[in-house]
Amino acid sequence: DTAVSQTPKYLVTQMGNDKSIKCEQNLGHDTMYWYKQDSKKFLKIMFSYNNKELIINETVPNRFSPKSPDKAHLNLHINSLELGDSAVYFCASSQKTGGVGLFFGSGTQLSVL
Amino acid sequence: GEDVEQSLFLSVREGDSSVINCTYTDSSSTYLYWYKQEPGAGLQLLTYIFSNMDMKQDQRLTVLLNKKDKHLSLRIADTQTGDSAIYFCAEARGGYNKLIFGAGTRLAVHP
């Protein structure tokens, strides 16, 4: 049983298209996140939801829109894809507070051509 | 990670100890973490330390925290080829586990 699962694993698309990445966690956690990892492996937080409420919204273009239908799911929709959006996107989850840290999915490799 | 810094590369011989260093800037960080990323995989939580501790040991892993200097290190004893990966340190800010990551240290283990 995968704790944090994201789909798809690979996504290849043309500039200007709209795409979505889905994430689900079965850990019973309250908080979910989206992180972006660039080609140099630098990880940066994008968004976080706590029990369907947006709690962290970093400086991200508004072409990126997260949606959390329930606390076990956090999806990421990207409009008008650009070349610079090419990266690996990681979903993660955690308890609201506490020292266990974040549990990550295996990532979605997005390539914009 | 402009606020969390790590050296980018470390090469060690199999069987030796590896020490990966990290400096952070936010003295109010309550937890500090070490994550491991293997090629094509997500991040795996290796260990973490609470800010009121100065050392934590877990099998081959030893974490040292110098809060005065905001310095964190991860020591891997008896390093194996399977330890080759990128190691990220991270500090937690705020009440929602907002993790700020370093740029990652690429550990290469050679025979």
Residue-by-residue DSSP string for chain B = --SSEE-SEEEEETTS-EEEEEE---TT--EEEEEEE-TT--EEEEEEEETT-SEEEETTEEEEEETTTTEEEEEESS--GGG-EEEEEEEEETTTTEEEE---EEEEEE-
Closest CB to A104: pick one of B31, B42, B86: B42
pLDDT per residue as tens digits for the range A42-68: 999 999 988 888 888 888 899 999 999
β-pairing verdict for A108-112 and A10-13:
parallel
Which residues in chain B are contacts of A29 at CB distance < 8 A? none
Q: How confident is the model at residue A1 (pLDDT cuts 50, 70, 90)?
A: low
Residue type, A57: N
Average pLDDT over residues B81-95: 90
Closest CB to B101: pick one of A43, A95, A105: A43
Whether B52 shows a pLDDT value over 70: the answer reads: yes
Name residues whose C-beta falls within 8 Å of residue B29's C-beta, 6 or more positions apart in sequence: B51, B91, B92, B93
Q: Of A102, A103, A106, which to mutate for an interface test with B (greatest number of B Cβ within 10 Å)?
A: A102
pLDDT per residue as tens digits for the range A76-105: 999 999 999 999 999 999 986 555 789 999
Cβ neighbours around B41 below 10 Å, total? 12
- How is residue B109 written in tokens? 């283990």
Interface of B with A (CB under 8 A): 1, 30-31, 33, 35, 37, 41-45, 48, 50, 86, 88, 90, 92, 95-101, 103-104
Name residues whose C-beta falls within 8 Å of residue B68's C-beta, 6 or more positions apart in sequence: none
Omega of the bond prior to B39 within 30 degrees of 0, cis?
A: no
Radius of gyration for chain A, computed over Cα atoms and rounded to the nearest angstrom: 13
- How is residue A34 written in tokens? 């989206």
